[in-house]
């Protein structure tokens, strides 16, 4: 045994930081391609927010205003939040639940993949798809809804929503650890759809029933949508910092839950 | 630099005989279910070792422990003299596990490209494709592959990093005869290049054809270990088949006979040594015909072993 160890120390292998960085990038690249080719994912994550936007923002209420904000502009912020939430939850939870439950994650764990590369890739790809959804909403709004925004404001809106992908990716990781391959999509929808409604992503917040408005204050998508609305001048009185704080706390809680699941998995058998 | 390169093969040969992976007194339970009980097992450099056993014997558990995917309840697992979860060790190992679902929208070459990137000195893509017989399927999406092609892709992912130690969990399940033989060839080629392979299988033929050493595992315990020839010799000896007027009962009384049973028109006799038994048979039955003597295969040894241990288990309970 000792001689084996001696031989080994000679052939010790180091991985350069640049190599590690390239693994993270490659992991993210293939995670992106994987999801892009997955029609269930692109259809539900990209098409739904766009369809809603076209229907309620461009066809039906294009000439209306909410407060002082033109409806097509207002709805980019809310359907943008809705899209970001879908891209992030489906991008992380369903893949993780299925990889975990059906053995693929074990193959990855047995390989020398840096353990965090897998999770970072999922979060980066969720942010990427979030950016795509928001960008497409803007293209539709500008082309057909008469949306006009200064460049700085547009960048701020995109930046806010894409950053807003992080809390929901964290939530997706937590969900992915506590659902199975078959139950994950149902569990996501069970949370995603009611949460979207109650947060005022479909029906603007001020038109929601009073008690739903109360619930909204406790929901992360409400806070993200208020931040997004803030960038187009339609936010509420609360300060941006307060909304960010809620989202940060929510992210940390979700990561904590995901970590419990991660550690539980280290000693558990699937299949 | 040149000196180092020249040193490598001889170093690997000198390595031979060194233990590169071992389970030392390892027990593993899943709740109430016992998967492994006080297992001692080691894999030496440059060898193909087969863990042979029926379904549910604990083979996969043993592999997952050695890969650091599971932690033992007691005992020690060591790979290259250290902890299996050590990243340095993982860069020197490759694994093929049984998987329910692999991301289906990525192409064969993309899967290989990603896994290759994890290793410091991966094999060139073309070599990996050739070794796994995937050249024509390189652009195929995983979801469009047949069962056997999927297995070959998983094999490619195990070898693409050019690892020193390879764990193959039921590598040939779902392969047709031709593909299975091709994979065996590939495993032999890897060992010729100084690699070490631990494979699990319930195909006895596979263990017989490939392994330098076989460990037979049943109900979480190693019940026999040795070269395929040793295991065959210890447990089964020869099989004698003939058409005879003698009754099974009288055959069983012949010294050296361990088993005799009617098989259609003939009888099948098992014995450690064939010659004395055949002499006795011919002496007591001049009309004996259709005499055939064969070495019992690993299969017989395996059946004898696993049945025995199963019975012992029942007695104890």
Q: Cα–Cα distances in Å, from B160 out to B147, B155, B179? A: 20, 9, 19
Q: What is the mean pLDDT of residues B148-159?
A: 94
Is residue B67's pLDDT more than 80?
Answer: yes
Would you say domain B2-230 falls under CATH 3.40.50.300? yes
Specify the range with the lowest mean pLDDT, choosing from A20-29, B149-158, B262-271.
Answer: B262-271
Interface check for B56 against chain A (CB to CB < 8 A): the answer is no
Cβ separation A23–B117 shorter than 8 A: yes
Strands B93-96, B165-169: pairing is: parallel
The pLDDT assigned to B228 comes to: 83
**Is residue B239 within 8 Å of B268, Cβ to Cβ?**
yes
pLDDT above 70 for B9: no
Residue B14 has pLDDT above 70, yes or no: no
Distance separating the N- and C-terminal Cα atoms of chain B: 62
Chain centroid to CA A50: how far?
16
What does the pLDDT read at residue B307? 67
User: B103 and A104: CB-CB below 8 Å?
Assistant: yes
Looking at the domain covering B237-295, what would its CATH class be? Answer: alpha beta
Average pLDDT over residues B176-184: 89
Question: Is B118 close to A112, i.e. CB distance below 8 A?
Answer: yes
Per-residue model confidence (pLDDT) at position A86: 94
C-alpha of B68 from chain center: 20
Nearest partner of B160 among B132, B185, B183, judged by Cα: B132
Q: What is the mean pLDDT of chain B?
A: 84
Whole-number pLDDT of residue A7: 43
Res. B222: pLDDT tops 60: yes
State how far Cα A177 lies from the chain centre.
16
Predicted local distance difference test score (pLDDT) of residue A246: 93
- For residues B97 and B113, what is the distance between their CA atoms, to the nearest angstrom? 19
What mean pLDDT is predicted for residues B35-48?
Answer: 90
* The pLDDT of residue A107: 94
- Tell me what pLDDT residue B13 has: 38
- For chain A, the straight-line distance linking the first and the last C-alpha, in angstroms and rounded, comes to 33
Alpha helices per DSSP H over chain B: 2-15, 59-66, 87-90, 108-117, 125-131, 147-159, 177-192, 204-210, 228-235, 248-253, 274-284, 298-316
| Average pLDDT for B73-95 | 91
Give the ipTM.
0.87
Low-confidence stretches of chain A (pLDDT beneath 50): 1-11, 269-271
Instruction: Output the pLDDT for position B15.
Output: 42
pLDDT of B147 higher than 70: yes
pLDDT tens column, B270-304: 887 888 889 998 988 889 999 988 876 666 667 76
Q: Please give the C-alpha separations between residue A48 and each of A44, A75, B68, B98, B191, in angstroms, as whole numbers.
A: 6, 14, 42, 36, 54
Residues from chain A that touch B91, judged by Cβ atoms under 8 A, are: 13, 15, 112
With beta carbons less than 8 A apart as the criterion, state whether A246 and A220 touch: yes
- Average the pLDDT over B193-206 and give the result: 89
CB pair distance less than 8 Å for A30 and B69? no
Tell me if chain B has a CB within 8 Å of the CB of A25.
no
How does residue B112 score in pLDDT terms, banded at 50, 70 and 90? very high
The answer to whether B195 touches B165, Cβ cutoff 8 Å, is: yes
- pLDDT at B17 (0 to 100): 60
Q: What phi and psi values does residue A256 have, to the nearest 5 degrees?
A: -60, -45
Per-residue pLDDT, A223: 94
In chain B, which segments carry CATH 3.30.70? 237-295
CB contact under 8 A, B117 and A109: no
- Residue B295, pLDDT score: 74
pLDDT tens string B118-128: 999 999 999 99
Chain A's closest residue to B91, CA to CA, is: A112
CB contact under 8 A, A34 and B105: yes
- A264 touching B, CB under 8 A? no
Domain boundaries for CATH 3.40.50.300 within chain B: 2-230
Percent of chain B with pLDDT over 90: 40
């Amino acid at each position: 045994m000792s001689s084996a160890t001696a031989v080994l120390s000679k052939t010790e292998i180091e991985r350069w930081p640049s190599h590690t960085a390239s693994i993270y990038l490659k992991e993210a690249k293939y995670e992106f391609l994987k999801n892009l080719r997955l029609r269930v994912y692109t259809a539900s994550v990209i098409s739904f927010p766009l369809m809603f936007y076209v229907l309620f923002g461009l066809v039906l209420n294009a000439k209306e205003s909410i407060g002082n904000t033109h409806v097509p502009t207002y709805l980019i912020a809310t359907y943008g939040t809705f899209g970001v939430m879908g891209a992030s939850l489906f991008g992380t939870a369903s893949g993780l639940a299925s990889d975990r439950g059906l053995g693929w994650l074990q193959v990855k764990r047995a390989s020398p993949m840096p353990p965090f590369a897998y999770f970072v890739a999922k979060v980066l790809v969720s942010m990427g798809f979030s950016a795509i959804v928001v960008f497409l909403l803007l293209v539709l709004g500008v082309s057909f809804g008469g949306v006009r925004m200064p460049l700085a404001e547009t960048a701020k809106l995109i930046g806010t929503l894409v950053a807003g992908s992080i809390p929901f990716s964290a939530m997706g990781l937590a969900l992915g650890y506590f659902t199975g391959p078959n139950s994950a999509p149902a569990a996501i929808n069970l949370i995603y759809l009611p949460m979207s409604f109650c947060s005022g992503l479909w029906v603007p917040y001020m038109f929601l029933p009073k008690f739903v408005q109360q619930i909204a204050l406790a929901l992360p998508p409400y806070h993200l949508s208020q931040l997004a609305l803030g960038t187009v001048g339609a936010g509420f009185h609360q300060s941006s910092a307060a909304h960010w704080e809620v989202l940060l706390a929510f992210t940390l809680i979700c990561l904590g839950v995901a970590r419990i699941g991660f550690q539980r998995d280290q000693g558990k058998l699937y299949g | 630099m040149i000196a180092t390169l020249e040193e490598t093969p001889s170093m690997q040969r000198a390595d031979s005989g060194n233990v590169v992976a071992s389970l030392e007194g390892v027990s593993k339970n899943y709740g109430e279910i016992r998967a492994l009980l006080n297992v001692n097992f080691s894999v030496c450099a440059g060898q193909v070792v087969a863990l042979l056993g029926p379904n549910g014997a604990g083979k996969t558990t043993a592999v997952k422990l050695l890969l650091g995917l599971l932690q033992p309840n007691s005992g020690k697992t060591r790979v290259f003299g250290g902890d299996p979860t050590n990243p340095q060790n993982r860069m020197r190992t490759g694994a093929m596990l049984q998987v329910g679902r692999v991301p289906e929208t990525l192409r064969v070459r993309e899967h290989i490209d990603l896994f290759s990137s994890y290793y410091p000195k991966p094999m060139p893509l073309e070599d990996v494709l050739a070794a796994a017989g995937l050249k024509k399927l390189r652009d195929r999406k995983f979801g469009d592959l047949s069962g056997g092609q999927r297995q070959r892709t998983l094999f490619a992912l195990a070898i693409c990093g050019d690892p020193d130690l390879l764990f193959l969990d039921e590598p040939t399940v779902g392969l047709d005869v031709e593909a299975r033989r091709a994979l065996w060839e590939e495993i032999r080629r890897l060992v010729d290049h100084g690699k070490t392979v631990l494979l699990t299988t319930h195909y006895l033929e596979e263990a017989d054809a490939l392994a330098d050493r076989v460990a037979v595992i049943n109900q979480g315990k190693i019940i026999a270990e040795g070269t395929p020839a040793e295991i065959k010799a210890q447990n089964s000896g020869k099989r004698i088949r003939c058409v005879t007027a003698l009754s099974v009962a009288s055959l069983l009384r012949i010294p050296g006979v361990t088993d005799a049973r009617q098989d259609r028109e003939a009888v099948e006799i098992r014995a450690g040594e064939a010659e004395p038994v055949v002499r006795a048979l011919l002496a007591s039955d001049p009309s004996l015909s259709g005499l055939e003597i064969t070495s019992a295969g690993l299969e017989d040894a395996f059946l004898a072993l696993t049945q025995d241990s199963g019975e012992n288990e029942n007695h104890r309970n």
